[in-house]
Amino acid sequence: MTTSLEQAQLLMPAVQKLADAAFDPLTAQYPSLALLMAQVPRSRWQFFFITTGIGVSLLLAPVLVAPADQDQVCDTVDAALAAWHPQGHDALGDFLKFIKDRMDQDVELPAAIGSWLVWNLKQAQPSEEELTLAWPLGLFFLHSFKDWWDLKADEAQTH
């Protein structure tokens, strides 16, 4: 059985692989994303996709990670962020603040997640058409990480 700490150690490499694997299917599925990404360096996609994935997984952690393990899990993820990119921690803080602010304004979580990603990919306020990407992109991240910390789901799959 996998522990929360082991999951924390696996998170960064998993999100990095997902960033690579998701680019072509997502841009094929959403033409407005393909148009946006035609103007954006792939390195920006990597940076903000990874930050979003880490952020979403941490948003879900308080529900699924035992309280006694949460500090160690957060420290492990924070260390992985610092090793990955010097601005990773700041970007994660910006993501979490943006999500909190949007939730305080009654924006639904998928829309908040996706709009942060689109805004940062564009590096400017997104157009209305670009903002239509927010909901499906947010759902993509929530679906991708909904079971990340669920050790019972992991155990059920191995039996």
Q: Does residue 109 contact residue 41 with C-beta atoms inside 8 Å?
A: no
The predicted pLDDT at position 159 comes to 40
pLDDT tens digits, 50-105? 999 999 999 999 888 888 999 999 999 999 999 999 999 999 999 999 999 999 99
**Chain length of the chain:** 159
Summarize pLDDT for 91-145 with one digit per residue, the tens: 999 999 999 999 999 999 999 999 999 999 999 999 999 999 999 999 999 999 9
Mean of the per-residue pLDDT values of the chain: 93
Cβ atoms of 37 and 120 closer than 8 Å: no
Helix crossing, 42-64 with 134-145: angle to 10°? 50
For residue 32, pLDDT beyond 90: yes
